[in-house]
Amino acid sequence: MNPRTPVLSHSRLRAVAAAALCVALAGAQGVALAQAQAQPIGAAASAAQAVPSLAPMIKRVSPGVVNIGTRGTVRERGQRNPLLDDPFFRRFFDVPPEEGTRERPFQSAGSGVIVDARLGYIVTNAHVVENASEITVTLMDGRDLQAEVVGSDERTDVAVLKVKPEALTQIELGNSEVVEVGDFVVAIGNPFGLQHTVTSGIVSGLGRSGINPEGYENFIQTDASINPGNSGGALVNLNGELVGINSAILSRSGGNIGIGFAIPVNMARSIMDQLIKFGSVKRGLLGVNIAPVTPDIAQALGLPGAGGALVTQVVAASAAEKAGLRAGDVITAVNGKAVKSHTELRNAIGLLRVGDKVEIGLLREGQARKVTAIVPEPEQAAAGDAAAAGTAPGTEGPPHPRLAGALLTDAPEGGVLLRTVEAGSAAATAGLLAGDVIVGANRSRVSSIAQLRAAARGAASLVLQVRRAGTLIIVPLR
């Protein structure tokens, strides 16, 4: 041993070794930190796990959504003497029909979806292009194209535009029949003029109606933000397929509260095809009046459950009569697809084309049947005046609360005659008229007030068979 070499104790040796290990660890950490600082922040994270993003899908489909700017004029009534609204005074003072009206220019904005890039067809809402004399379509790349209206259908709020097919990108059409509540969806449009805004959400509900009672409705409800300017824009699934055309919102303020509505793409496609082919929608009339089948009505008719559409009247010489439909039938299916409500039946028939053959499934007196009808050209059925069915002495009070306000008597030819119906009464609200003859209630034939009272005893609801002007109709009382 070299005498100049210091001799260390065991404790001292352990201390020196520990210090050396600390230095080594510190050096290693320094190298690792230097390497991390030399690498982009997100690179390590993305290499370990990709961050979920809708960006690739949005980039693919966004060029298929366009901004639609419109200009035009609307005629509106200005201020004038209210007496001139009375036809008598207008004739007396020889006031022209258009007196007091004026034209006001307007401009508005909406959205649209390119559905055929080769031919230049764009689908939007009918209300977006209503009264427009000039329509400008702005593409995502900033190009402006002039558009013309191919056709418009107010009943479904669908319109088709055409532009020059110059380097357009279309969106693939999906199938709204397979959309389910809870599916993720994305709304793309131009709210408040902010072009190509994207919002996401889920499908909140299906088959929504009641937004426009005069229209054909089967809306997809979504909580994806939809605001003014989104109308006519795209509602797409996560595959980038078009499942709906954004149409309306439910709001007290005019802004989004999470309740938006889109026209199912299958409905829009059907209307689009007719607008392109004919320039308008040719709807046939089956020739029936219908009512909902509520649980009470179902119980009164002895049905297994609520659902379907109750036929309350069949128009004489109509397609329905020729097919064998009768008042009192409950329609449960159209072309093999179940009909859950009278609204679904109205939509299903309203979207058929003139000349289409339709198979109708129904329940008649508890038995399942099928009939086939051919949708004819629409025509106005002449409504006959209610014929007086005669009177007989001896009247009684109503056998059911919903018949209150009707003066009843036994009809000479059998049944119960409504001699008078008080305006605003329960009977009038139910749709009954003076001169109607009740010939059935629920599943019982009725030839007298006594029989009607027996059929109504203990029943929460009544489904009346009524003879009116030679036609049998059904009147639900609930």
Q: 254 exposed, middle or buried (CB, 10 Å; 0-12, 13-18, 19+)?
A: exposed
Q: 159, 123 in Cβ contact below 8 A?
A: yes
Residues with a known catalytic role? 127, 157, 231
Q: 466, 474 in Cβ contact below 8 A?
A: yes
Q: What span, in angstroms and rounded, lies between the C-alpha atoms of 343 and 291?
A: 9
Q: 92 exposed, middle or buried (CB, 10 Å; 0-12, 13-18, 19+)?
A: exposed
Q: Among candidates 412, 414, 388, 400, which has minimal Cα distance to 459? A: 400
The values of phi and psi at residue 194, to 5°, are -85, 100
Q: What span, in angstroms and rounded, lies between the C-alpha atoms of 102 and 73?
A: 10
Contacts of 191 (CB under 8 A, 6+ apart): 197, 225, 226, 227, 228, 229, 230
| Tokens matching residue 380 | 């106005």
Q: Strand locations in 345-452, DSSP E?
A: 357-364, 367-374, 395-396, 406-410, 416-421, 437-441, 444-445
Q: 339, 321 in Cβ contact below 8 A?
A: no
Cα-to-chain-centroid distance, residue 246: 10
The values of phi and psi at residue 58, to 5°, are -60, -40
Q: 364 exposed, middle or buried (CB, 10 Å; 0-12, 13-18, 19+)?
A: middle
Q: What span, in angstroms and rounded, lies between the C-alpha atoms of 452 and 355?
A: 42
Q: What span, in angstroms and rounded, lies between the C-alpha atoms of 385 and 430?
A: 19
What DSSP letter does each residue of 122-156 carry, written as one string?
Answer: EEE-GGGSTTEEEEEEE-TTS-EEEEEEEEEETTT
